[in-house]
Each structure stands twice: as structure tokens, then as C-alpha cells.
Amino acid sequence: MARFFNTSGPCKPAKHYMLPAEERLTEARTLIDMERYFVVHAPRQTGKTTTIAALTASLNQEGRYAALLASCEKAQAVGEDINRGVDTVLRDIAEKATMLPEALRPPAVETVGHIDGPSRLEIYLSRWAERSPRPLVLFLDEIDSMKGNALISVLRQIRSGYPSRPSRFPHAMALIGMRDVRDYKASNDTEFGTASPFNIKDRSFLLPNFTAEEVAILYEQHTEETGQAFTAEAKVRAWELTRGQPWLVNALAQQITLTDVTDPEVTIDVEHVEAAKETLIERRDTHIDSLLARLREKRVRGVIEPLLAGEYLEGDVMDDDIQFTEDLGLVVSGEMGLEIANPIYREIVPRVLTSTLEKQLRVVAAPYVAADGRLLFDRFPDEFRTFWLANAEFFLKRQPYSEAAAELIFMAYLQKLINGSGYRRGTSIQREYGVGSGRIDILITWALPGGEVERFAVELKVWRRDRDPDPLDEGLKQLSAYLDRLGLSRGTLILFDRRPSAPPLPERTSRSATTHHGREITILRL
């Protein structure tokens, strides 16, 4: 069987298309030779275990070190119980070590069975180092699945043994997880912050995403083995949509090659990539759901909510909160400031936040679709105004992200309209938003039966504070610039008035039209 694109578990060269794993962590070798302890962290399913497993295998093959990759994941089930937590880690080390030559294996776990948990790991690793003919290199994966007293005990025992390396403790060690040490969970679900019991780390590595060139190389492996080609534009589009996030890169290609385009004679183009993107968004696999579950966390919400609202972060949002959200893979700091990490996540985040609302909305697509399949978008402002007058107060009070409530309600309504028309290839909604942008730009691409597409641009702005000027003038300038970039001559500007002193809703809603820099603009005030 030919290799395939992997989206579950570590990659194996014989089964999966993959990039040279060690090249993603080139500095690790130097730190190991220098007897350093370090941290490798990255979001879920970005290749941490694959990379470390490849490094472990290389170190053992070279014969200089006795290297082992063990996991702390099973210790999650025992909570803060120190004895059971430490014992679980020890037993995983002993089990994984059976793959080493007998002379390099650690002693039996039972040799330290009579010792209390707060010392057992340290003594066990010390005895292993003393008996091993090679310096030990230990990698502890899923370390942040532990928490509370059990985690603190493990970290303190490592720190305690650190000065005895390399003759009486592992020569080098790395902790691998989703988060840096400062964000590990202590008791009561609080983070360690600067008070980490693992202050011996030399470096923290955030495993990087794939570059555009690496995505192309990965996809070319499929072409070499099957003959099925990706167009250059398809490879570029895959990188643009994923920004190189490894799971997304593989998931797109897997959806295309195993389901959408199974005939190797058919060349994979941009439209295939776009269709696969929509499938991933609709399907919301475990990777995506586990990531988006973080949106409920207070420190993540403090970053994501103003980003959705186009506002600047509040003063109580700490730099560690931003770094934590970046480490999760949700946001990046780019040329335009803080923004959602990639276009796929940018689509998914508001859809997840409004999924419950969307299910409640009664939006019928039929009145918006002409007999020839065209989208009658001119009807949208009046229909949405009617909906807003009847339902705004009810839904605004129930949005979890209150600062971005108006924008999220609008996007749920629009999504319901598009979904209600039935998915058709080439139809999509693209959103652009970021911290301090003051707006959300939306592009609706509507596929016609003959293969052509229509495009409609909408800009959302919110008038939040009494001291701020009417955002109309700024909105017209911003929308005109957006239309210019899209090459469109018409657009819709929606202004939500959320000021404390705003007139009653029935008095402030209106629809009007104007021309700005030669472009026809529909203005909807709400």
C-alpha cells in the first residue's frame, strides 16, 4: 500500500508522507551534547512526538547515548496522587526501555517500590544513570497532562537530581507538551507562572509550522509515489489556508486524496483544496474541537474577544496570556498585529462561538435565491434589520463574548443563510478581523449553477462608546479600501450602535445608500 497523509498519532516513514523530523528541532542536538535540560512545546498534533521519536532513534543508532522517549499521559488518570502519579511515570519508562539493549535498560521499578513518591523517581533515574554504560537522554512526553501535586513532585525530583548529572542522573532531558513550563497546571488549576519548580531549563522550543516550501515538498511525495499531481497554485493555497499548521496541512491532503479525488489521473487544483477546507470546517475533527474548547478559558477569551470585536486588549490582559494563546496555536503576531493563526481557524472560531445560536435561528434561504441561482443579496439588509428589531435584545444578552456579541449574531445569521441554501462547491464566507482593526470584513462568494461566482462584501463596525465619533466616515473609507482590494464596485456597511446613550432600537435603525469614491455603498444602521 502506498503511503498516505497522517492525521492521527506519530508519523512513521514507512507508512506516512512526512518531512525529515529532526530538521524541525536542529538545536536540540547541541543542547544534548551540552548536558542541558529543555522544553519542547507546541499545539496538539503538530509533530512533537514524531520529531522526538526520530531524534531518540538517531541518538541510539549513533551509539553515544542511551536515549528514551516515555510518556506521562497515563498519570492524568490518577490526579494529584503523588505515589500513583510517580509510579505511573516510572512504569512507562520501564516499559518503553524494553526496546533498548539489555545493558542500557533501567533497573526494575520494584527496586524503588518501598520508597515514597516524592523521592522514587529521582532515586530510580540515579540508579539507572549509574549502571548505564552510556550517558542517559530522557524525553518525557505529555508532561503537562499531569497536574497539581503529582506534577510538582515529578518536576522537583528532576530538579533535585539535576546537579548529579551525568554520572548519577540523566545527561540531558526534555519535557514535551502543549505548553511551556510556566503554564503547567498546579493545584486549583492555577498556572505556575514565574514560580516554576523546574527552573533548570535551558531553553523552551516552540515547534514551528511548515513553511510554504515544506508543504510543497510534502505534497510532492504523494506525486512521486502515485503520479497524482498538485498544481503549484494548490500547494500555495494549502499553505495560505493552514499557514503550515501540520495537522491541517495533512488533513487537507488526506481529505482530497483519500475521499475527494481518488483517481490519480486527476490533477489536484485550488478548487479541490477549497472544497476540502469546507469539509474540515464542517466536520470539526477532534484536533479542532480540542483546540476550540480553549475558547471558554478566561485568559484565552481575554485575547480572542477583543480580536473578534476589532478592539485593543484590555489592560488586565497579561503578556503571559497572549503567549499562552499563541502557544496553543490559536493566534499569531503578524504584520497586522495579533490575529487568528490561519484562515481555517479564522472561519471556525466565530462559527463555534455561534453554533448554538445558529441552530435557533429561523432563516429561510429561499427568499434570497433567484430562480437562476443568483443570490439576491439586496434583500439582506432589510431582512436582517427586521430580524434585529425583533430579536437583538434577547440574543445580545446571551452571547458568551459580550464585546463581540453584535458581530457574532450577524455572522450566525449570515452563516445560517448560506448553510440553508445547501453547500455548493465554490460558495464560502471569508472573514478578516484582528486586534485594533475596528471592523470585521466579510466576503461572500456565491457559486452559480454554471460554474461562475458572485461576490458580495460586507463590513461590520460597532459604535461602542459615547465619547467616540460616529464611525460612518471611517467605515466608508475602510470599506472602499476593502472593495478596491477585492476589485468590487458595491458593498454593504453595517453599523451597530451599542453606546450606552444610543436611542431606542426602533428609532436608530435605518437603511440608506451613498456613493463613495465611485463605489455604491448600502448603509445599514442598527
The CATH number that applies at residue 217 is 1.10.8
Q: How many CB atoms lie within 10 A of CB 518?
A: 9
The domain boundary residue, chosen from 283, 313, 341: 283
- Structural domain contains residue 9: no
Are the C-beta atoms of 137 and 172 separated by less than 8 Å?
A: yes
Regarding whether 188 and 258 lie in a shared domain, the answer is no
Say what the pLDDT of residue 101 is: 95
For residue 31, is it within any domain?
yes
Distance CA 157, CA 159 (A): 5
Is there a domain that residue 61 lies in? Answer: yes
Residue 480: C-alpha distances to residues 308, 319, 407, 472, 518 (Å): 21, 34, 20, 12, 9
**C-alpha torsion 510→516→519→522, nearest 10:** 0
Q: Are residues 302 and 218 located together in one domain of the fold? A: no
- Asked if 275 and 253 touch (Cβ cutoff 8 Å), the reply is no
> Are 523 and 493 a contacting pair, CB within 8 Å?
yes
Does pLDDT of 423 surpass 70?
A: no
Same domain, yes or no: 228 and 294 = no
Structural domain including 201 reads 21-206
Element (H, E) at 393: helix 380-396
Residue 13 domain-assigned?
Answer: no
Q: Say if residue 275 is in the same domain as residue 321.
A: no
**Quick one: how far is CA 324 from the chain centroid?**
12
- Judge if 343 and 436 occupy the same domain: yes
Instruction: Tell me: do 255 and 314 sit in the same domain.
Output: no
Q: Mean of the per-residue pLDDT values for the chain?
A: 90
Tens of pLDDT along 335-357?
778 899 999 999 889 888 888 88
248 shares a domain with 154: no
Question: Which residue reads 475533527 in cell numbers?
Answer: 285
Q: Are residues 309 and 279 in the same domain?
A: no
Is 497 inside any structural domain? yes
Domain count along the chain:
3
**Residue 339 · residue 243 · CB < 8 Å:** no
Cβ–Cβ < 8 Å for 175, 143: yes
**What is the per-residue pLDDT for 191?**
60
- 392 and 270, same structural domain? no
For residue 494, the surrounding DSSP H or E stretch is strand 490-497
Residues 406 and 458 in one domain: yes
Distance separating alpha carbons of residues 217 and 362, to the nearest angstrom: 46
| 16 located within any domain | no
- What confidence score (pLDDT) does residue 324 get? 84
Regarding whether 108 and 32 lie in a shared domain, the answer is yes
Q: What is the pLDDT of residue 318?
A: 80
- Inter-helix orientation angle 212-226/246-255, to 10°: 30
Render pLDDT for 19-71 as a digit per residue (tens, 0 to 9). 998 888 889 999 999 999 999 988 878 889 999 999 999 999 999 999 999 99
Shared-domain flag, residues 118 and 266: no
- In-domain check, residue 133: yes
